[in-house]
Amino acid sequence: MSFIKNTWYAAMWSQNLPEDGMVHTTVIGELLVLYRDMNGLPVVLQDRCPHRFAPLHLGKLCAQKSRIQCGYHGLEFDNSGLCVHNPHSETIPSMAKVRAFKAVERHSLIWVWMGDSEPLENAIPDFSLFSEVGTNRISRRESIELEVNYQLMTDNLLDLSHVSFLHDGVLGHAGMVRGEITVEQDGSTLHVKRSSPNVAPPGMFDLLYKRNGLPVDFWADMRWNAPACMLNNAGVCQPGSDRSAGISLLGAHILTPISEFRTMYHFAAARFDENVRRNADDERFIFEQVSNLRRYAFEEQDEPMVLAQQTAQIAAGGLGVLKPVLLNIDAGPMRARRLLEELRQIADSSESEDA
């Protein structure tokens, strides 16, 4: 499977990259070690020593975090990946270097540019509303590792008709199944919008809204940017009224491929519910419930279904072998797949791709 290389991938939430010490992860098959330099800026290196390929995260940081020392035989590399110290001799072999990746901390995430071309900082999708810290407007920022291909999970997120079945009683219900769907493209950004007027409020939105179960207009507008960075504006309002008079929840759904069949799913939600008054304890309780419900839906409902869907395709020869029957609800996922392929050819046209 080939992945786009010349693009930004969210490696992790900022909160998971400590001030001191190292963490490691894998992005599109590349083993990475991450740490912060003495100024707190993220450093990302290939997590494989060029000597005998020990993972560098098993070593230690030294020289005030300007070097990383391999834990096996002590070669030291600076933050650009060059070997600057060989404890066994005065000679440093010219091949003694590790690859350094451009990294940027933005919107409370650590983004890594995985290709060789010049990184485009303005190409990082806008998740600025997740930059807030210390407010109770942002849910827990969480990450779970899924044993599924990231494009299958993208299909799941760009076709939210499944909430009526897979998330019945939590994020949706049978009464919402006939939604109106529109797909719009703005440059390389895709918007997949779904609305269900005059329906009973889905469970989580009833919790956030008036908790009276009366009908609402429901919407879910998903923004997609390559490779799999999504922002869902979902909400409810009184039937026929302006959306601004209701409440909305903006959900970050960012999928970072680890390998063909493993994906890191980063998610969080920001709420906009100023139209509902609550006391502080009630607010905290409700948003803790929202965090729990979302995690339950993604981990206990989406992942098992997508994994089973993947297993069925692998049994038939692999992903992409079977030709699916297409429904109107597939318009968003199909457009995203086409756009991703176009962008992949443009972004990586000068590079050889992963096999």
Kindly state whether residue 159 participates in binding Fe ion, applying the rule CB under 5 A.
no
If contact means CB under 5 to 8 A according to the sort of partner, which of Fe ion, ligand FES, none does residue 272 touch?
none
Q: Is 302 in the site for Fe ion (CB under 5 A)?
A: yes
Tell me how far, at minimum, the Cβ of 169 lies from Fe ion, in Å: 13
3-state secondary structure of 38: coil
Q: Which does 302 bind (CB under 5 to 8 A by kind): Fe ion, ligand FES, none?
A: Fe ion
* Side chain identity, residue 310: Q
By a kind-dependent CB cut-off of 5 to 8 A, residue 75 interacts, out of ligand FES, Fe ion, none, with ligand FES
Write down the least CB distance from residue 144 to Fe ion, Å. 13
Partner from ligand FES, Fe ion, none contacting 137, C-beta within 5 to 8 A by type = none
Cα(136)–Cα(283) distance, integer angstroms? 8
Least distance (Å) between residue 167 CB and Fe ion: 6
| Residues near ligand FES (CB under 6 A) | 49, 51-52, 54, 70, 72-75
155 binds Fe ion (CB under 5 A): no
CA–CA dist 248, 184 (Å, integer): 21
Shortest Cβ 135–Fe ion spacing (Å)? 26
Degrees (nearest 5) of the Cα angle 40, 226, 56?
40
Pick from ligand FES, Fe ion, none: which does 49 bind, CB < 5 to 8 A by kind?
Answer: ligand FES
d(CA 147, CA 258): 10
CA distance 194 to 318: 31
Nearest to ligand FES of 73, 140 (CB atom):
73
CB count within 10 Å of CB 114 equals: 22
> What does 210 bind: ligand FES, Fe ion, none (CB cut-off 5 to 8 Å by kind)?
none
Is residue 55 within 8 Å of 24, Cβ to Cβ?
Answer: yes
User: Which lies closer to ligand FES via its Cβ, residue 22 or residue 340?
Assistant: 22
Quick check: helix, strand or coil at residue 300?
helix
| Residue with Cβ nearer ligand FES (53 or 165) | 53
Nearer to ligand FES, 97 or 107 (CB): 97
What beta strand segments (E) does the chain contain? 8-13, 23-27, 30-36, 42-46, 60-62, 67-69, 76-78, 83-85, 100-106, 109-113, 142-146, 180-186, 189-199, 216-225, 229-237, 247-259, 262-272
Q: Which residues lie near Fe ion (CB under 5 A)?
A: 302
